[in-house]
Amino acid sequence: MLLADFGTSYCKIIDTDYNALPRIIATRELDRTFCADLATGHNAARRSKKSINELTALARGGKQLVNRSDFVLLDCGSRDIKFVRFLEGKVVDMGWNAECGASMGFTIELLSAYYQLDYATIPVPATGFSITCGVLGMSHIFDAVVTGTSETEAVAKFVRGIALNAHRFAHEPENLYLSGGLCDNPLFVASFPCRVIPLGRFVLLDGLRATLLENTSPQ
């Protein structure tokens, strides 16, 4: 069975009929005729036989991966941010924000390509910009560079500002489980003012797997 997390920039796909690892495909490169059996994410309803909400997939994936009854899981995507909070094994709070998290992941990736930066080599700055939107926040970078700040430091302050904003959105937990492509960005992960446990890019796929198990379990 084909499972897919249709992200705005990248799609994560796995075929459960084969013992294979998930694949990551740039959304723009995905065949227009591709159709999943079960999917979540951007355009999932249009490109699959059955789809579920991203928050539902995130919660089910988190429950499968995190061996705790109380935790907060934050998903930082290319286009938006969303979180779920578990208490005593049940979801008690959740949120989805495409405004304060607008194009956050996409902007961070775009900046690394434009300025030719390696986020693994950039130290976390002492302060970050006050940012509520990935796109609009880029003006802070340009203003800082004009006044003499290096491009690398300006981008680092931008990334830290994005992380601080995401932390506030998740209601400032002391421990935070992180989902999404930004799990692979060392600067972003280290910029949070709390302990961060990255779960990787396939949490929503794990949520789809859990959905399959629920639907096939004997009643």
The helix (run of H) or strand (run of E) holding residue 48 is: strand 48-51
pLDDT band at 219 (very low <50, low <70, confident <90, very high): very low
pTM for this one? 0.93
Q: Find where tokens 């499972």 sit.
A: 3
**pLDDT exceeds cutoff 70 at 56:** yes
- CB count in 10 Å sphere of residue 129: 22
**pLDDT exceeds cutoff 80 at 158:** yes
- All structural domains of the chain, each given as residue ranges with its CATH number in brackets, are 97-200 (3.30.420.40)
pLDDT value for 216: 65
Rounded Cα distance, 114 and 137, in Å: 16
pLDDT value for 135: 75
**pLDDT exceeds cutoff 50 at 121:** yes
Q: What average pLDDT does the structure give for the chain?
A: 92
Those residues with Cβ within 8 angstroms of residue 218's Cβ, 6 or more apart along the chain or in another chain: none
Tens digits of per-residue pLDDT, 32-51? Answer: 999 999 999 988 999 999 99
pLDDT value for 93: 97
Rounded Cα distance, 110 and 124, in Å: 19
pLDDT value for 79: 82
Task: Report the relative pairing of strands 195-200 and 175-179 from DSSP bridges.
Answer: parallel
| DSSP per-residue string spanning 52-118 | --HHHHHHHHHHHH---SSEEEEEE-SS-EEEEEEETTEEEEEEEESSTTTTHHHHHHHHHHHHT--
What's the whole-number mean pLDDT along residues 126-139? 84
| DSSP per-residue string spanning 167-187 | HHHTT--SEEEEESGGGG-HH
pLDDT value for 199: 98
- Cβ atoms 131, 158 nearer than 8 A: yes
